[in-house]
Amino acid sequence: MALTALEIYKLLPKTNCKECGFPTCLAFAMQLAAGKAGIEKCEPASMEAKEKLGAASAPPLPKVTVGTGDGAIILGDEVVLFRHEKTFYHPTAIAVSVSDTLGEEALRERLRGILALSFERVGQMISVDMVAVRCDSSDPARFARIAGGALSGGGKPLLLQGPVAALAAAVKEVGPSRPLLSPPPEEVEDGARLAASAGLPVVVKARGVKGLEAALAAARAAGAKEIVADPMPEDAGQAVADSICIRSLAIAHRAREVAYPTAFDLGGGFPLPFAAACLLVPKYGSLLVLDTADPAEILPLLTLRQNIFTDPQRPIQVEPGIYPIGKATPSSPVLITTNFSLTYFTVRSDIEASRTPAHLLIAECDGMSVLTAWAAGKFTAESIAKILGDSGGIEGQVEHRTLILPGMVARLSGKIEELSGWRVLVGPQESSALPSYLRRLPPAAFLPAHG
Amino acid sequence: MTVPLPKQAFPGRILEVTLPAAEGGTPVVVGGQNALPFAREGEKPNPVAIGMEVGTGSGEIPPSLARALGGREKDPVSLARACEGEWGARFLFLSLSGCHPDNGAQPVAAGAKVVRDILAAVRCPVIVGGCGDEEIDAKLFPAAAEAAARPVFLSYADEKNYRLVGGAALAYGHGVVSWSPIDINMAKQINLLLSDIGVPPERILIDPLTGGLGYGLEYTYSIVERIRLAGLSGDAMLARPILCHLGDAWKAREAVDASEPSWGDPDVRGPRWEEATGWACLAAGADLLVFRHPANVASFRGTSWR
């Protein structure tokens, strides 16, 4: 368990020597407890203190990196069990499988399908992260060749699943791309030795948390350094229970023996793979392998991942500014809302649904929704009037001076008119009513203001 | 070297709530657990209850959903029978949406009649939802409460109308769904207010407002986790079963738009969108889930684990 500042203070020399850069040992202890400083800054500390504090401040869940460069995937390295306590940092990696029995054309086709699993949502790209190459052929040379093809054709980090002989052949082909090796459970030690000698991360598979405990010890003894644990569940319920158990042991109990990122193979006839994946995204799965490359399944799954891994303290924001929607002209309506991405994309898609070209003004509101931003004093008559009056702003782009204000902040309309000289129309309270609202607007509302 | 398996013992327990059925029907019992979902420790006497929505509105529903409902969406009684009989819903959420001015503008008396007809047609427990228009609901809830010949739950009581809904429930022996907009303090507050006017605790369910996948689901996910953790930690006002209504999943463009071929078949994508929303709510701690797509009722009912 993490130590409190007072517990840490008791281990320090209590000399207030200031060598650490803090005025007192207690102040330093508080920084240590908050994870903002490391014990190495305290030279006079005893060996015992350094050992204890070093262990306590090490991350509860180690980090495993797969792949290289920009496409590298980080597994693990999380610090909380519930996202509202802080945030989840490293999104569950999604791998889609290819079999090494595929012919050349079929492989290309499959890789094209996997590459297409990339979507833009609320301004972010969400994509499948890895390609899992399965050795179904029991031919190491063939497996190595297909792994090479999957790497060059897919450009994504690889998960290599097969017997150690096949993995060894593939490592010669694609080793520098830093694939994750996944040997079968009966070859844990040989697989760990191969990973250790090649300096690659490895998946350790064994049935259940108890089984993993022994297998992980064996893998460590064989030299494996970067390890991902797969408890080989039989169904979705078991998968989530195992996943929760391993992550709770790691974070709440600091049980180093099983504190590893997790992998779950939901392909090859696993029952209800979509259900299992949806449960494992919020419940601590680090890497999921799926056989499906159907966008109708992958898009919801990636969207769920995007939702769960959004920092609860930092909503996704869009750039403030003027966004033309459709073929907006100088006589198109002008609407305004806040820069909370969900607000922006909802309003945007509702305006699009109305088929009315329009200018959408986005106000800087620290990513808050309309009502929250208003309550926090970020979306006010003054701030809105300032946006309307901005030089080089909306006044240069439209001939009229009529603003559609979100219905939630109708009370601002008088003040805005007073400050900006614009006329204000109060729009609907809910964005979903925009299509019918915009279609009912008389065009005369947006005639040129002067003349 | 043996790692002890984690044991997290909570001091609290979620109150067991029964949604009554008609004679010969099966009541729905939820709550009663003293552990988080999927944890190996603790007691979980009751499975998650899977229900379906029956609407009365005149508005169009997404084509993929309409195909799955086989054209029954315009006939609430026939839809309700299919939900219970063919698709295996353990309870119904009857939404009197048709009384809303923009969704059919049915008179209150018509809303009350649907309540009578549905209760005569099915034996499973029923939750009766208002139309969402404050003024109309003020008449609709008392009328529906009176029309219901057997105990139902009224959905929902919020900060403004809790006296009205709670009073109607008390007068006719119904339960109440207490609603708060993704706000744990408000969730607690409404339950306190309901308890102040005398609604018994074992007749209250919490509706924390369920955002659809891609459109605020993460807020719901975390508020459900927080309400559940608070309840298990001993906050009696929050130690109540949680109901997640997944209807918002169908409002997402990604769930229904057929014009984007790169998103895949909408007949698969639509139900998957609702399904993903449902699994996330389940993982967070929901005790009752309300679906619109029959296929999802089957897959959620088929899973005995939790």
Question: Rounded distance, CA A236 to CA B289, Å?
Answer: 18
Nearest CA in chain A to B223: A84
* Nearest by CB: B280 against A84, A282, A295: A282
Q: Which helix (H) or strand (E) holds B157?
A: strand B153-157
What is the CATH T-level fold of the domain A5-57, as seen in this structure?
3-methyladenine DNA Glycosylase II; Chain A, domain 3 (1.10.15)
Contact call for A249 and B276, based on CB within 8 A: no
Q: Regarding the domain with residue range B42-301, which homologous superfamily does it belong to in the CATH classification?
A: Dihydropteroate synthase-like (3.20.20.20)
Collapsing DSSP states into helix, strand and coil, what is residue A121? strand
Strand partners, A359: A324, A334
Residue A412 φ then ψ, to 5°:
-80, -10
Contact call for A303 and B2, based on CB within 8 A: no
Residues 6+ apart with CB under 8 A from A31: A22, A37
Residues 6+ apart with CB under 8 A from A449: A399, A400, A401
Chain A residues lying within 8 Å of B213, measured CB to CB:
300, 303-304, 307
Fill in the DSSP letter of residue A247.
H
Residue B247 φ then ψ, to 5°:
-55, -35
Contact call for A299 and B305, based on CB within 8 A: no
Predicted confidence pLDDT, tens digits, chain A (451 residues): 467 888 888 888 889 998 888 999 999 888 887 767 778 888 888 888 887 777 666 778 999 999 999 999 999 999 999 999 989 999 999 999 999 999 999 999 999 999 999 998 877 899 999 999 999 999 999 999 999 999 999 899 999 999 999 999 999 999 999 999 999 999 999 999 999 999 999 999 999 999 999 999 999 999 999 999 999 999 999 999 999 999 999 998 888 899 999 999 999 999 999 999 999 999 999 999 999 999 999 999 999 999 999 998 877 788 899 999 989 999 999 999 999 888 888 898 889 888 889 999 999 998 888 988 998 899 999 999 999 998 788 999 999 999 999 999 999 999 999 999 999 999 998 888 898 899 888 877 777 765 3
Q: Report domain extents, chain A.
A: 5-57, 63-308, 321-446
pLDDT for position A261: 98
Where are the strands (E) in A136-185, listed by range?
Answer: 158-161, 180-182
Contact call for A299 and B284, based on CB within 8 A: no
Two structure tokens written together for B172 = 């006719």
Interface mutation vs chain A, best among B279, B281, B282, B297, most A CBs within 10 Å:
B279
Two structure tokens written together for A279 = 């449960």
Question: Rounded distance, CA B76 to CA B119, Å?
Answer: 11
**Measured torsion, CA atoms of residues A82, A84, A90, A93, in degrees rounded to the nearest 10:** 60
pTM: 0.87
Phi/psi-derived region of residue B285, left when phi > 0, alpha when psi is between -120 and 50, beta in every other case: left
| 3-state helix vs strand vs coil in chain B, percent to 5 | 45, 15, 40
Contact call for A279 and B282, based on CB within 8 A: yes
Contact call for A244 and B38, based on CB within 8 A: yes
Question: Rounded distance, CA A375 to CA A380, Å?
Answer: 9
Q: Given this chain, do its domains A5-57 and A63-308 carry the same CATH topology?
A: no
Q: What is the pLDDT of residues B12-63, one digit of tens each?
A: 999 999 999 999 999 999 999 999 999 988 999 999 999 999 999 888 899 9
Residue A36 forms contact with B (CB below 8 Å): no
Q: Residue B1 above 60 pLDDT?
A: no
Count Cβ atoms within 10 A of the Cβ of residue A69 and give its class: 0-12 exposed, 13-18 middle, 19 or more buried.
exposed
- pLDDT > 90 fraction of chain B, expressed in percent and rounded: 84
Provide the pLDDT confidence category of residue B196 given band limits of 50, 70 and 90.
very high
CA distance B121 to chain A (A): 32
Interface mutation vs chain B, best among A244, A301, A307, most B CBs within 10 Å:
A307
| Residue that has been written with the tokens 């300032």 in this structure | A386
Interface mutation vs chain A, best among B7, B50, B218, B299, most A CBs within 10 Å:
B218
Contact call for B268 and A209, based on CB within 8 A: no
Interface mutation vs chain A, best among B3, B233, B289, most A CBs within 10 Å:
B3
Chain A residues lying within 8 Å of B3, measured CB to CB:
209, 213, 249, 255, 257-258
Q: Which of residues 153-212 of A touch B (CB under 8 A)?
A: 209
pLDDT for position B193: 97
What is the CATH T-level fold of the domain A63-308, as seen in this structure?
TIM Barrel (3.20.20)
Chain A residues lying within 8 Å of B60, measured CB to CB:
none
Collapsing DSSP states into helix, strand and coil, what is residue A345? helix
Residues 6+ apart with CB under 8 A from A411: none
Residue A295 forms contact with B (CB below 8 Å): yes
* Nearest by CB: A258 against B3, B216, B264: B3
Chain B residues lying within 8 Å of A294, measured CB to CB:
264-265, 268
* Nearest by CB: A295 against B216, B263, B279: B263
Residue A430 φ then ψ, to 5°:
-105, 135
Nearest CA in chain A to B248: A432
Chain A residues lying within 8 Å of B272, measured CB to CB:
274, 296-297, 300
What is the CATH T-level fold of the domain A321-446, as seen in this structure?
Rossmann fold (3.40.50)
Chain A residues lying within 8 Å of B251, measured CB to CB:
432
Question: Rounded distance, CA B114 to CA B147, Å?
Answer: 9
